[in-house]
Amino acid sequence: MFTVEYGEMPEVAVRLAGVCLGGVLLFIYTGWPSAWLWSLGYVALHGINYAFLRARRDAATQTDCVIGGVLFLVLYASFLWMPAYMATTEDATLVFSGIVLGASTFAFMIRRSDTMLWMIFGEVAILSAMIIWVLLSKMTVIEGELAVFATMLVTVAMTAYMFQAVFIARKVRLEGEAAARRAAQEQKMAAIGQLAGGVAHDFNNVLTAIIGNLELYEALPDPDERDEVVREAHAAAKRAEAVVSHLLIYARKAPVRRRAVLLNAAVARTMQLAQRGIPARISWRFVPEGMDVEVRVDEMQLTTALINLVRNAADAIEDTGTVTLSTRFEIVAQPMPMADGSLLPPGRYARIGVADTGSGIPEQHLRRVLEPFYTTKPPGKGTGLGLSMVLGFARDAQGGLWLSSGRDGTEVAVYLPGSVVVQPHGAETENAAQMDGVS
C-alpha cells in the first residue's frame, strides 16, 4: 500500500502543493475559514497516513491493510467534501472549479486501481454521495418532471460507469500482476535448469579428474608418480569446493559473519592477496576517496568478491593495461538501475569500483555475464560463477551490482550500505600511494 500511495513522490508533492495553493486562493476569493481547514486537514491526514504506511511497509499484517484502507478513504473524503461544497454554491467560478476537482478524483481512482473490493465500494460510495449532495442542492432550480428524470438518470448512469471503470482497472492490474508472477516463475525455472546443467557439467569434470587420478594411483608403482596423481585429485577436489562456495554465496546460503569493516583498509588487504594473480604486464592501482566508509559485511565474502572482480579485470586485458580499484561514498537520491535489472533503493552507499583498460565486453555477451556458469573463457580457466557470486554477495548485503562496458574497458561497481568515517588528515593519501604498483 505504501508503494501505491507514495511510490511516485513527485506526483504526491504536486498534489499536496496544489491543495495548499488551492486553499490559499479559495480563502482569498471567498474569505471562508473552511478553506484553511480543508487544505491543512488534508495535509495533516496525509502525514498520519504516510507515517502509518511507512512503519508497516516491510511487515504489514491483514489488519494493517484494513487500517491503511480506512485511512485512505478518510483521506479521500477529506479532499472531496470541499469540491462538492463549492459545486453547491451559486457562484459559477466555484461551481466549475468544484466539478473539475471532483472529476479529477475519478481519474485518481482509476490510476490507483485498488484491488480490495471493499475499498472500491468505499471510493465509489464516497464520490457518489458527493454527487448526490450536489444534485439535491440543485433540485430546487430544476424545472419539469422530464428534466428531473433526466438528471436522476444521468446520476445513476454515472455511478454505474464509475463502478464499471474501477472494476476494469482492478481486473487489468490483477491480470498484469499475475502475468508478471508467471514470467518471473518461468525465468526462475529456466535459471534453475541452467544452474543444474552447469553444476552437473562442472562436477562431472571434477569427478572425472578425481576418479581418473585415483585409478592411476592403483596402477602406478612409482611412489613419486603416486604422490603426483594424489595432488591432482586433491586439486580437483579443491576446485569442486570453490564451485560449492560460489554457489552458496550466489544463493545467499553461505554462513555469514557480518561485522563493521573499514572499506579502504579491507580493499588494501584484498589487493595484497589479489596482486599475486595479476600478470606482470598489467599495472594496478588503488584510488580511495578522501573519506573512509564503514560497511557491515562478511569480510571473507567481500575479499572473495573483490578478488573475483580483479582477476576478471586482469583477464580482460590481452596485452598491457591497468586495473584500477576505487572506493567512494555516494548518496543515492533516486532508485538506481543495477546490472541485474533491479533498482537500488535511495540511501547512503559505499561504492567499490574495479575498472580495466581492456577492449570491453561484446554486446552479445554483456546481456548474459551475470548468468551462473556463463563464461567466454577457455575450459579450465573459469567456472562462470565469478560475477554471479559477486551479485549474490551484493544482494545479500542489501546492495547492488553496477556494470558498464565499452571500447575503452569495463567497470564493475559493488554498492554496499555504508556510513562515512573520518580519518586523520593525510592517512588516505599515504594509503593510496602505498597501493600503486606493478605486479
**What CA–CA distances, in Å, run from 412 to 307, 338, 356?**
13, 11, 9
Reading the block at residue 142, the C-alpha cell is 430544476
Residue among 337, 251, 258 nearest 298 (CA): 258
Helix runs in 58-112, H state only: 62-87, 92-112
pLDDT at residue 33, rounded to an integer? 93
Confidence of residue 53 (pLDDT cuts 50, 70, 90): confident
Examine the pLDDT at 243 and tell me if it is beyond 90.
Answer: no
Instruction: Sort strands 282-288 and 321-332 into parallel, antiparallel or unpaired.
Output: parallel
What is the spatial distance between Cα 311 and Cα 252, in angstroms, rounded to a whole number?
Answer: 22
What is the spatial distance between Cα 121 and Cα 124, in angstroms, rounded to a whole number?
Answer: 5
What is the spatial distance between Cα 414 and Cα 354, in angstroms, rounded to a whole number?
Answer: 9
Q: Which of 125-129, 342-346, 404-408 has the lowest mean pLDDT?
A: 404-408
pLDDT at residue 318, rounded to an integer? 83
What is the spatial distance between Cα 247 and Cα 195, in angstroms, rounded to a whole number?
Answer: 9
Rounded percentage of the chain residues whose pLDDT exceeds 90:
13
Residue among 280, 357, 360, 359 nearest 321 (CA): 357
pLDDT in tens, 129-156: 888 888 888 887 777 788 878 888 888 8
pLDDT at residue 428, rounded to an integer? 41
pLDDT in tens, 330-346: 888 888 888 888 889 88
Q: Find the mean pLDDT for residues 8-21.
A: 86
Confidence of residue 419 (pLDDT cuts 50, 70, 90): confident
Query: In sequence order, what are the beta bridge partners of 352?
Result: 327, 414
Confidence of residue 170 (pLDDT cuts 50, 70, 90): confident
Reading the block at residue 436, the C-alpha cell is 600503486
Q: Are 250 and 290 within 8 A, CB to CB?
A: no
Higher-confidence residue: 185 or 269?
269
pLDDT at residue 431, rounded to an integer? 42
**What CA–CA distances, in Å, run from 138 to 56, 100, 159?**
44, 17, 18
What is the SS3 assignment for 399? coil
Reading the block at residue 293, the C-alpha cell is 566508509
Site of grid cell 450536489: 134
What is the SS3 assignment for 371? coil
Q: Are 418 and 349 within 8 A, CB to CB?
A: yes
CA angle (366 as vertex; 192, 319 as ends), nearest 5:
125
What is the SS3 assignment for 237? helix
Higher-confidence residue: 410 or 162?
410
Examine the pLDDT at 203 and tell me if it is beyond 90.
Answer: no
pLDDT at residue 425, rounded to an integer? 42
Q: Are 100 and 84 within 8 A, CB to CB?
A: no
**Strand locations in 152-311 (E):** 259-262, 282-288, 292-297
Quote the distance between the C-alpha of residue 231 and its chain's center.
45
pLDDT at residue 128, rounded to an integer? 87
The most confident of the ranges 172-181, 207-216, 252-261, 292-301 is: 292-301
Q: What's the chain's average pLDDT?
A: 79
DSSP secondary structure letter of residue 165: H
What is the SS3 assignment for 349? strand
Examine the pLDDT at 411 and tell me if it is beyond 50.
Answer: yes
Site of grid cell 476537482: 101
Residue among 86, 2, 79, 95 nearest 38 (CA): 79
The most confident of the ranges 41-50, 174-183, 277-286 is: 41-50
What is the spatial distance between Cα 320 and Cα 409, in angstroms, rounded to a whole number?
Answer: 13
All domains of the chain, ordered by start, with CATH? Answer: 2-141 (no CATH), 189-250 (1.10.287), 259-438 (3.30.565.10)
Query: In sequence order, what are the beta bridge partners of 284?
Result: 323, 437
Q: Which of 13-17, 63-67, 188-192, 366-370 has the lowest mean pLDDT?
A: 188-192
Q: Which residues contact 227 (CB under 8 A, 6 or more apart)?
A: none
- Give the DSSP letter string of 284-309: EEEEE-SSEEEEEE-HHHHHHHHHHH
Q: Dihedral of the CA atoms 236, 241, 242, 245 (nearest 10)?
A: 170
pLDDT at residue 201, rounded to an integer? 63
Examine the pLDDT at 192 and tell me if it is beyond 60.
Answer: no
pLDDT at residue 196, rounded to an integer? 61
Confidence of residue 395 (pLDDT cuts 50, 70, 90): confident
Q: Find the mean pLDDT for residues 20-49.
A: 92
Examine the pLDDT at 245 and tell me if it is beyond 70.
Answer: no
pLDDT at residue 55, rounded to an integer? 81
Rounded percentage of the chain residues whose pLDDT exceeds 70:
80
Confidence of residue 185 (pLDDT cuts 50, 70, 90): low
pLDDT in tens, 73-110: 999 999 999 999 999 998 989 999 998 988 888 888 88
